[in-house]
Structure 1
Amino acid sequence: MVDSPAGTPAAPRREVAVVGSGYMGGGIAQVLALTGAHVALADVSAAVARQNYERLLAESDDFVAGGLFPEGATGILRANLWAAEDVEQAVRGAAVIEEAVPEVLEIKNGILSRIGAAARPEAIIGSNTSTISIGELAKAVRNPGRFLGVHFSNPAPFIPGVEIIPHAGTDAPAVEAARQLVRDCGKSSAVVRDVTGFVLNRLQFTLFREAARVVEEGIASVEDVDTIVRTTFGFRLPFFGPFAIADMAGLDTYHFSFQSLQTAFPGELAPPTILSDLVEQGKLGTKSGGGFLKIPAERIPDLVAYRNKAYVRLQKLIEELGPPPVD
């Protein structure tokens, strides 16, 4: 152990393994290594792991040149990343292991079985699955209380949110260890229940399904749907989630809109019970001092000022970046 400059012993580096070193797993490995963790990369062979190790370094050089990674990032990665000979070597000394192999149940089960057999009994094991039941995957893991979903989004280095998904038998310390890992990466976490699609993809694919239906029904073109989403309600989403947006719009307004939509879509767009209950209680959002969120009346002017400033600055950023390179 190396002493710190103050003369006190420095904490040992966290040993981490990422199994699956492709685009998703490689991005996760970059994020972890940049925090100072010592990160082993494993894949179907040592050659593939080594090839992806070199790719991640070259990619980092490009990110540094583009101002996306800080100066010196590639040197940090070179010092902290290493390519293992196999899964067993990668996980043997790791305190935290992230599985990021293809989204195929049989492949994941096989890898998780190998990880569980080779890892230390107390090592935390996370899966980056985006849709497969964590409880189902846990059946392949030795000591399943230390297993949970730790779902990064693509591209992992740049998307700041991570879903934490415990299964029914996950131990509480494993959840807190996963949340701490995410915090150490400078990212935000949300703990959600183990249901199909979790939260991220349940919401994302519901939006996509409706967008596809709008196009299929000839209501708008693909281009116009994308324009509407990114320039209207999607424009708010970098700053506020759906409940905060509803509170600011007025829950009575939302309730009336659901009632109107229900006339055309009676089985699909009825007002949600939690919305109806709040409206019946007179809790109409920020204008009544309470709704889904608790925002004191004296803070509402600050909220409105923040909202307006955020939207103006986002529009300026979009104009600065220019249109995305798509037709």
Structure 2
Amino acid sequence: MTTTRDIAVVGSGYMGGGIAQVLALAGHRVAIADVSAEVAASNLERLVGEAEQFVTDGLFPADAVERIRAGITAADSIEEAVADAAFVEEAVPERIEIKHETLRRISAAARPDAVIGSNTSTILIGSLAQAVERPERFLGVHFSNPAPFIPGVELISHATTDESAVSLAEEVVASTGKVTARVGDATGFVLNRLQYALFHEATQLVDEGVATPEDIDTIVRTTFGFRLPFFGPFAIADMAGLDVYAFCYASLQTRWPERFATPASLAEHVEAGRFGTKTGSGYLDVPAERTPELVAYRNRAYVAMQRLLDELGPAPIAAEPTGERA
């Protein structure tokens, strides 16, 4: 059973507003605050209007508008929003000076036992914690855009974050139906470090004339990206074979010996004969006897994904055709 809590979301733009929506739909009492009472009130009306459209599109439950109207209030100030909150989520713009000033106001006005989370995408949580009174109650709680529909949330502790603060944040996020992962306090955390690594390599391919942005997107969507809703990079590597990965690294090193140096952990696994699912041990240690079950799941998952894509049709990215070519 979900525990209903008083929660504040400071910063009611598209990220903060989406977070407020899912918290209200989970049954919490949510106060939103922004640079002024007028901005917060205006954003609340926007959130209601968005919810109406989401209901029409079948993305929110039929009673979502009523629940959001009942569950979210627009506060006159940050101090008013956080006064009674058990959990506060800061979602102001990604500039450390703005976040520092906001976090000072939050921690000065909030209850001593209130847990404070930041929705920062890349800024070190330890750096932000410098502005928080009783920083042991502070951590990163990083939702992804669009917050109502992306299920994963990063939880990032700094050096002195208390376990009880992390546990409460996990409970709050879990009440919304989302999935949390605990990660260390490193610039970019996990999500953006991986996302930007892929984007960087994609731009290199374009700059080298290997492929166009359109063709690179097609390859990502229809090959390894097709696997990612079901399996992360370690599961994919284990299923492909870590010995195969080692050979591929060696091939890439003929052109980029440093950029694609074989990871030490991969070399250790291969040297020890741990090749992934085919040997029953690798990064994830999937027992060999479960490999047929895993392969069957994988095949069903990929067929189901293709059916979903066929049903949805292509994303409206490319321009609509205007007529026959001359």
Q: How does the TM-score come out when normalised to structure 1? A: 0.96
Which residue, 107, 116, 123 being the options, matches 2:107? 116
**8 Å CA contact retained: 2:84, 2:110:** yes
Instruction: Show the counterpart of 2:304.
Output: 313
RMSD over aligned CA atoms reads 1.0
Whole-Å separation in 1 of the counterparts to 2:190 and 2:312? 30
Letter in 2 for 1:152: F
SS at match of 1:288: coil
1:121-132, aligned counterparts within 5 Å?
A: 121-132=112-123
Q: CA deviation at 1:293?
A: 1.0
Corresponding position: 1:142 with 2:124: no
Tell me the amino acid that sits aligned with residue 269 of structure 1. Answer: F
- Paired position in structure 2 for 1:255: 246
1:32-71 equivalences in 2 (<5 Å): 32-71=23-62
Q: 1:11 to 1:129 in 2, by over 3 A?
A: closer
- Matched with 1:6 is none
Provide the C-alpha distance between the structure 2 equivalents of 1:46 and 1:182, rounded to a whole number of angstroms: 26
1:273 paired residue number: 264
How far residue 114 of structure 1 moved from its aligned partner, in angstroms, is 0.1
Q: 1:144-172, CA deviations, whole angstroms, 9 ceiling, x for partnerless residues?
A: 00000000000000000000000001111
Give the secondary structure class of the aligned counterpart of 1:25.
helix
Question: Aligned partner of 2:76: which letter?
Answer: E
Q: For 2:227 and 2:62, how far apart are their aligned partners in 1? A: 32
Q: Which of 57, 79, 82 is 2:73 aligned to?
A: 82
Q: Which of 219, 228, 243 pairs up with 2:219?
A: 228
Aligned mates of 2:243, 2:86 — CA distance in 1:
50
Contact in 1 for aligned 2:152/2:180 (Cα 8 Å)? yes
- Secondary structure in structure 1 of the residue aligned to 2:278: helix
Matched letter for residue 90 of structure 1: A
1:298 to partner: Cα distance: 2.2
Alpha-carbon distance, 1:12 to partner: 6.9
User: Deviations along 1:238-296, whole A, 9 cap, x unmatched?
Assistant: 00000000000000000110011011111110110010000011000011111111212
Deviation beyond 2 Å, 4+ runs, structure 1: 10-13
Q: Cα distance, 1:11 vs. partner?
A: 8.6
SS in 1 for 2:131: coil
What's the CA shift for 1:179?
A: 1.1
Amino acid paired to 1:181: V
Post-superposition shift, 1:13? 2.8
Q: Which residue of 2 aligns with 1:168?
A: 159
Give the distance between the partners of 1:294 and 1:12, measured in 2 at CA: 36
TM-score (norm 2): 0.96
Structure 1 residues 247 and 68, CA gap change in structure 2 (3 angstroms)? same
| Counterpart residue type for residue 156 of structure 1 | A
CA contact (8 A) 2:2 2:175 kept: no
Instruction: Indicate the SS of the match to 1:195.
Output: coil
Q: Does 1:183 align with 2:174?
A: yes
* Equivalent residue, structure 2, for 1:98: 89
Structure 2: segments with no counterpart, 5+ residues: 319-326
Q: Is the 8 A contact 2:125 2:140 kept in 1?
A: yes
Percent identity (aligned) = 63
Return the alpha-carbon distance in structure 1 between the equivalents of residues 215 and 11 of structure 2: 38
